[in-house]
Every structure is written in structure tokens, then in C-alpha cells.
Amino acid sequence: MKQQDAYKILAAFLVITMLGSVFAYIFIGKNPDTTQTTDTSATNLDKYNPEFWTVNQPFYSISDALKMTPPGAIVTYFVDLENMPPEMIQWVRQALPVIQEVDSLYKSNTTIMYYASIKEGNNNSFLLLSTMFPMKNDFEYIVIPNTNNILQRQDTGMINIMGTPVIYAPDQTASEVLNIIYGLNKSVTSYDQYENLLTKVEPAPYQIINANVSFAKQFYIGLNFVNGSYEGTTAYLDANSSVLKKINQSKANSTQNGFEQFSINQSRNYTIVKVVSPELLNVISEFNEETN
């Protein structure tokens, strides 16, 4: 099998098993309320208006982003394309075609992106945080009355708040994010739910957390490139016996499968697996092996 074809198959696997259909809501959105009275003179197509770019909350990992996320995140992922080698960028863009959708959303090049699928009671929502180059607000919008920088998009009806990061979400979720960022009191966030897991892994330019899988209560993937090798980390809260068996079988065959390192660490009910290989395909295959 050609390496390129193998990447595509494994990318498709991760999209199906890790993320499901959580992306659709971002771009379908809701129809704008046609009964709303707005000042159409405020609608424009300027490519960049610096007055709107006011958010200043840099994020460098999935942990940073979760600290801006309202409670209830069930599937989240973080991608930092600026800190990946070309081969890894190629694979990530195949695994997550939503990156191209975000490029299109802003007519710019996405550099960092975070997505969270949020469930609060019976309500489903999402949060998209991103950075781009060059910076643009090249879309039709209306400035929400009594605000100076909160934009309602005319193509999706969603809220955009520009800055670092750019915030894109339904109105209620966007409001909750602003309360977290600018609130005077400590807020409850989705980070609280995953803090114990995240303190056991290192930040990486590719990270996924999923609390909606059948084989564990929480599942984490991290992928990094260090000193010429790819480092893959998986972490589980209350992994089932089938997964633990697969992990131990993989470790027994790790040398012949091309791994420089294969470690399994237990911390109470958390299982953390770290693999290192000069070949990206080896690491991605191990992600597949553990969860398939």
C-alpha cells in the first residue's frame, strides 16, 4: 500500500471514530432572524477592521482552550499548524478536512484551531477558536447593537468576535466565553472536567479529547515531533479490559514494529501510553490499533 493511501485510510478512521459528525453544525449554523431590525449601513465587506480585533487571550494547547470553554465539552480537538513539520501538516489536513472549511470561513490561512462540541442538558452547542494569517474579517456582518466588536455573520447567523483567538459560536455560547475571559470571578469551565487527565500528558500541536467513546470514560490523543521522531500519546480514564489487552500486546511487539520507545504508565484509574518512532505512519497505526 502506498504511504499516501495509508495516510488517507488512517485519517478517515480518526475522523469517523474520534469526531463523528460534530463539524456540520459549525458551517450549517442557524438562519439569521429575518425579522430583526438592523442598521444595514453597518454591514460591510471590509477585509480587515482593526477596531474589531480586541480579544487577547493566546492559547497554545488544548488545556488553554478548555479554560475558555463553557462546561459540557464532550469532544474537543486542538491543532497548531505553525508547530508541525510538513509531513505532519499534510496528514492533519487529511485527517481534519474541517481545517479547509475554516480557511474558507475567513478567506485566510488557519494557523491554530480548536473545536469543542458542547452538551449542556438537552442543548447542543459548539465553540470554534482560531487564529489566521493574514488577519481578516472578510465576511458580511452586522455589529450587534450596544456593542462595539461583536459581529453577527450574515452567511451563518453565528457570532464572531475577532482577536486572538477569533471566537465563532452560537450567541449564548459566545456570551459565556466572554464571561469566562473577562469575568472578575473564577469561572467553571470544561477544563475542570479534564484537568486530572491533562496534568498527566504534555502539550502537543495535535490533541484530541473525547468523552463519548465506548472503551473509556475519557480518551486523549496527542501527537508531537521532537528531535526527528514522532511522539504519540494516548491516555484513558477507566479503559476497558479489551483496550488494555491491545496495549500490552502492542508493547510486546513494539521493537519489531519500529518503535524506539513504548511505555505504559498507570496512575490510579488513568492509563498513559507513549510511543516514539521516526515514522509518522507507525504512530498513527498505533492509535488505530488501540481503539479499533
Q: Is 44 inside any structural domain? A: yes
Q: What is the DSSP string of 87-150?
A: HHHHHHHHH-THHHHHHHHHTSEEEEEEEEEEEETTEEEEEEEEEEES----S-EEEPTT-SSE
Q: What is the pLDDT of residues 20-39, one digit of tens each?
A: 445 556 665 554 443 343 44
Q: Is 200 inside any structural domain? A: no
Q: What is the DSSP string of 211-248?
A: S--SS-SEEEEEEEEETTEEEEEEEEES--HHHHHHHH
C-alpha cell at 268: 490510579
Residues of the chain below pLDDT 50: 1, 9, 12-13, 16-17, 20-21, 31-45
What's 242's domain CATH number?
A: 3.30.1360.40
22, 168 Cβ separation under 8 angstroms: no
Q: What is the pLDDT of residues 229-277, one digit of tens each?
A: 999 999 999 999 999 999 999 999 888 888 999 999 998 999 999 999 9
Q: Is 165 inside any structural domain? A: yes
C-alpha cell at 288: 488505530
Residues 270 and 142 in one domain: no
Quote the pLDDT of residue 34. Answer: 37
Q: What is the DSSP letter of 188?
A: P
pTM of the model: 0.89
Residues 117 and 247 in one domain: no
Per the structure, how many domains does the chain have?
Answer: 2
Q: Is 169 inside any structural domain? A: yes
Residues 221 and 171 in one domain: no
Q: What is the DSSP letter of 153?
A: E
Quote the pLDDT of residue 125. Answer: 94
Residues 21 and 147 in one domain: yes
Residues 175 and 50 in one domain: yes
Residues 119 and 250 in one domain: no
Residues 249 and 123 in one domain: no
Residues 99 and 166 in one domain: yes
Quote the pLDDT of residue 121. Answer: 73
Give the residue numbers spanning the domain of 241: 213-291
CA distance 110 to 263: 34
Q: Is 190 inside any structural domain? A: no
The phi and psi torsions of 168 (rounded to 5 degrees) equal -135, 120
Residues 137 and 9 in one domain: yes
Mean pLDDT of the chain: 87
Judged by DSSP in three states, 276 sits in strand
